[in-house]
Amino acid sequence: MTVVKIRPTLTILSILSLISCQRIIDNLREEEANENYVSPFKGVYKGNYSGDEVGSLTIEVAQNGYISVTKVSQFSTENSFVSGMVRDDGALQSVTLQSGFTLLGNLKTKSGTWKMGDWVGNWSVTKQ
């Protein structure tokens, strides 16, 4: 009687082990793909912004698509080491500096708008 109860339990445990192993393999493949990913927008972009404030911008896109921004205005210089990312379609995602200066737009068109509190304007860059 006991042997009959053990077989289904062993079968279920074997199936769960195989599923767990497959998940581990899938996770390793996904991590490897992320490590080998190169953003199509990787590089340095320089340009200007204008509107309620004017100045220059440097946008650096790392291999993984994360963005660093340097903003220089007549009032100050502000650097952000990681301030969002660029998606594969070029759209900027969550690119905001500590001051609240937020870039909206697309690196495919190399332009967009910016906002900081009530101040707004436009920006454009060229790839170096």
Give domain status of residue 87, yes or no.
yes
Q: What percent of the chain has pLDDT over 70?
A: 95
99 is in which domain, residue-wise?
43-127
For residues 71 and 13, what is the distance between their CA atoms, to the nearest angstrom?
A: 57
94 lies in some domain: yes
Q: Is residue 95 part of a domain?
A: yes
pLDDT tens, 47-82? 999 999 999 999 999 999 999 999 999 888 888 877
Q: Which residues pair with 119 in a beta bridge?
A: 116
* Number of helices followed by number of strands (H, E) in the chain: 1, 10
In a domain, 17, yes or no: no
Ranges 17-31, 32-46, 65-79, 108-122, most confident: 108-122
What's the number of domains the chain is made of? Answer: 1
